[in-house]
Structure 1
Amino acid sequence: MRLLEIKFKNDKKCYIYYRLLITSTMNIETRKYKIIQKVMQSSDEKLSKIEEMLKEESELEAKLEKAMQQVREGKVKPHSEVRKRYEKWL
């Protein structure tokens, strides 16, 4: 896991953990070619699963970008404030 720090004009910071998946022993072209080979050899069922995974990844990426935009615009509340507001349900 890696930590990404985002700094804002008002000196606030946001930290995001992410996982970097890189195969360092192969160059990008080789990695792409190997993926293409796997896809070409996939059954219809596996291909459907791959398509669903790519769709979900794309949707997640869009949601993360929207969330990051909200953070940059200051449209977030500190954890302590949210916890205080919903304390009676916790």
Structure 2
Amino acid sequence: MSIEELKIEIAKKVLETDDEDLLSEIEMLLNYNEKVVLEELPKHVQEGIKRGLKQAEEGKLTPHDEVMKRYAKYL
């Protein structure tokens, strides 16, 4: 899907929804101009992110739905 096609699909979904919370979240995302730069984060946070990315590359992940099933009784 091209970037233009993606924009059109997102615009269609936005126009079709009446969910005010969702629209507010979309607005906040679109208005957020600052991007977090890894180097600006504390060293321990940088290391944690790098460790997580390495684990993801190695396939050491647990799918979201599996985690939700496992911990549903606590929610």
Q: Normalising by structure 1, what TM-score?
A: 0.39
Greater per-residue strand proportion: 1
Q: Give 1 or 2 for the bigger CA radius of gyration.
A: 1
Greater per-residue helix proportion: 2
Q: Normalising by structure 2, what TM-score?
A: 0.46
